[in-house]
Amino acid sequence: MATGSPFFDDVRSKPEVIDPPSDEMTDVAENVVDTAQSAVKPNLTVSSSVHELLECPVCLAAMYPPIHQCLNGHTICSSCKPRVHNRCPTCRHELGNIRCLALEKVAASLELPCKYQSFGCVGIYPYYSKLKHESQCAFRPYNCPYAGSECTAVGDIPYLVSHLKEDHKVDMHEGSTFNHRYVKSNPHEVENATWMLTVFSCFGQYFCLHFEAFQLGMAPVYIAFLRFMGDDNEAKNYSYSLEVGGNGRKMTWHGVPRSIRDSHRKVRDSFDGLIIQRNMALFFSGGDRKELKLRVTGRIWKE
């Protein structure tokens, strides 16, 4: 339910995850638990009216104990209560510290499907454990791994592979080995991070190879790393190596690909990849040491 008021424009956010009802709520529930549980059968689809009752009028997310109410019975989640300066967002009366124990009890009796049901999750979960499950659900969608823009696309792996190819024009390659050449006429320019992304298909999976220049202190640094398009527990089944060199020298890196659940920035800032200092990169490039010419080779294998 949108308020349409500027007063609430800056307070819409997801409520914090709150543990199941405190002892205070449990004491009230003990007297009516049998009645409530008999009224709500497992796997029963919750009506839209009950969903609306449990929806915070400010952040529009599901409310979890403590659920607060004003003297007129309007409810609000605990996260939004201080953000509206203790004023009811519906009638503007002072909220005080009144708990809506009846609504908390209704919530305790519910079992709901995972919100990622459309992505394949078939589980039914008690209201108070649903959020925890969803934060770890294996079917939750992935964020787009493209690092060159603030892309907001989310979806499963087949969708993201198509999205990277069609919308971002990312190079797609088959096979577990690669040989990439990176050239930059002025390696001192890193204000707008220079990066490259290539997707590899092998072993029935997809991998993202990143190559990027970024500022570390006063000098540019180059990093290459691999991300796995899937969850971390699957990523650990694979390893990869990267190699860069020139003028009779070479540098190698052996690692485990990180899941795309970890953001591109998180992996980069942890230096979990092949790191090349600018002076070494120019040495590998040969010539007059003014133009960057790096060849990065690599291999992916299954453990």
- Binned at pLDDT 50, 70 and 90, residue 261 comes out as very high
The predicted pLDDT at position 16 comes to: 40
- pLDDT for res 227: 96
Could you check whether the bond before residue 187 is cis, i.e. omega within 30 degrees of 0?
no
Q: What is the pLDDT of residues 202-244, one digit of tens each?
A: 999 999 999 988 877 777 788 999 999 999 999 999 999 999 9
> Mean pLDDT lowest for which of 11-15, 136-140, 243-247, 264-268?
11-15
At residue 188, the pLDDT reads 64
Beta carbons within 10 angstroms of residue 157's beta carbon: 14
Task: Provide mean pLDDT across the span 279-287.
Answer: 83
* pTM for the full predicted model: 0.67
Give the tens place of pLDDT for each residue, 52-79. Answer: 788 888 988 888 888 898 888 899 888 8
Higher pLDDT, 63 or 187: 63
In this model, does residue 25 exceed pLDDT 60?
Answer: no
Q: Which pLDDT does position 194 carry in this prediction?
A: 59
Q: Please say whether the beta carbons of 225 and 265 come within 8 A.
A: no
Cα 233 to Cα 288: distance, rounded to the nearest angstrom: 46
Q: What is the pLDDT of residue 48?
A: 58
Query: What percentage of the chain reaches a pLDDT higher than 70?
Result: 79
The residues that bridge with 177 in the sheet, in sequence order, are 299
42 or 35: whose pLDDT is higher? 42
**Residue 187 pLDDT:** 65
Q: How many CA atoms lie within 13 A of 163 on its CB side?
A: 15
